Homo-oligomer: A and B are copies of this chain.
Amino acid sequence: MVVAGPLNVSLTAEILTIGSELLTPFRVDTNSLFLTSRLNDLGIEVIAKSVVGDRPEALAAALRLAVSRADIVVTSGGLGPTDDDLTRDAIVTVAGVTSVESPDVVDAIAKRFASRNMPMPAINRRQAMVPVGATVLDNPRGTAPGLWMPVGTRVIVALPGPPRELKPMWDDHVASRIAAKAGSQRLRRRTLKIAGRGESHVDEIAAPIYGRWRSASPAIETSILASPGQVELHLSAQGTDLEQLDRALDQATGELATALGRAVFSTDGRELEEVVGDALRALGATVSAAESCTGGLLLGRLTNVSGSSAWVTGGVVAYDNAVKIDQLGVAPDVLNDHGAVSEPVASAMAAGVRARLGTSVGVGITGVAGPTGGTDAKPVGTVVIAVDGPGDHHTVRTLRFPGDRAMVRQMSVQTAMDMLRRACAPPDYN
């Protein structure tokens, strides 16, 4: 039997993000998500990531620890021309080498300034200091070149902080070098996206299935990720035989999709608004929406997709009851008898916007997003959603969402999108 699973990992990586602004309460590091994804693609597991500020000792200590435990250490930031830019110095300290000025780099930086008719400031010469043994990685989008610095059998890859410089440098100069180092080990992934089922419900169905795969060959690792109204199952497998990995992952994805049924809305990376858009386009159908508590967010979500004008006609945001009556034709009696947050009103809003805008499908949403406006009968979080069309289809659901105003609105939009998907993509289409 092949020993599989996490033990199979050939190389490990650590990511070090450098910059004091990422140690404030205001910003999170997102470069590391890009880097993790790219490293994983090459079969490399990220074992730790850190953010350090502009203190030379802290940076050197973090870099030293990283090199001691990971095969590949990727840094971002700290390559600029000022005193605060400490990455080059930390590499020199940790690798125990000196640095020399590279005439080629000076030349490249000077040319960059010249192309904008500016003299090169003396301070930028700092960026041309290259640790002995390092390879310079060209940066056509900025003055800071990257560095590829072998340290024994390991390597430090120093990249600039701005994502628009970091990403192309990775793809153009780093990926192929890392791939050569990683050998033929690869990691492949699949994602099942699920709506309308809670995390524990999904796990109850999925765990008995994916539980066996950890000790299979190739081993498949499964993780579950929940966000409001959506659950994702992430499958990954490592190995050298890509065809075998893909075959195993496709079969595993199929097994889970069958067990979870219609709750699975995509296995190919598409987001819910793309799935809904594709279903509407396949039907030659158009959609409109009448929104109260979500205030336009459902239409905003539907129109997230480029080309959505082919299936989204428009809609009405009816925050005020007068708008529900005048623009959507909701009968004042229905509003009086049942209240604005009721199934008859949601249904009338859906049918009203569908008729007024002449679309194949209409969606109506009315609810109490809170934190004020709740009553005993209709507490904060009560939301009613109706889908009218295509054809004779009509569904209306009363829901009770937990959480704050933003959460109630987000869950409402997500649920409406899922109801729309189920209305437009009957089982045959899915």
Q: Which residues of A contact B (CB under 8 A)?
A: 21, 23-30, 33-34, 36-37, 40, 45-53, 55, 57-58, 61-62, 65, 68-69, 223, 225, 232, 234, 289, 291, 294-300, 302-304, 306-309, 312-320, 322-323, 326-327, 356-358, 369-373, 405-406, 409
One complex includes copies of this chain to the number of 2
Beyond A296-B299, A304-B406, A312-B319, 17 extra complex contacts between A and B, CB < 8 Å: A23-B36, A28-B30, A47-B55, A48-B51, A48-B52, A49-B50, A57-B69, A58-B69, A62-B65, A295-B302, A295-B308, A299-B319, A303-B317, A306-B370, A306-B371, A307-B372, A317-B317
Contacts of A308 in B (CB 8 A): 295, 319
A312–B373 alpha-carbon span in the complex (Å): 15
Find chain B residues with CB under 8 A from A306 CB: 369-372, 405
- Nearest B-chain residue to A358, judged by Cβ: B322
| CA A317 to CA B298, docked complex, whole Å | 11
Q: Which residues of B lie under 8 Å from residue A33 when comparing CB positions? A: 25-26, 28
Q: Is there an interface contact between B234 and A24, defined as CB atoms closer than 8 Å?
A: yes
If A36-B24, A296-B298 touch, does A50 touch B48 (CB 8 Å cutoff)? yes
The answer to whether B29 touches A25 (Cβ under 8 A) is no
Measured CA separation A318–B357 after assembly (Å): 10
CA distance A28 to B22 in the complex (A): 13
Question: How far is B369's CA from A45's CA once the two chains are assembled, in angstroms?
Answer: 38
Q: A296-B315, A318-B314 are in contact. Are A69 and B65 (CB under 8 A)?
A: no
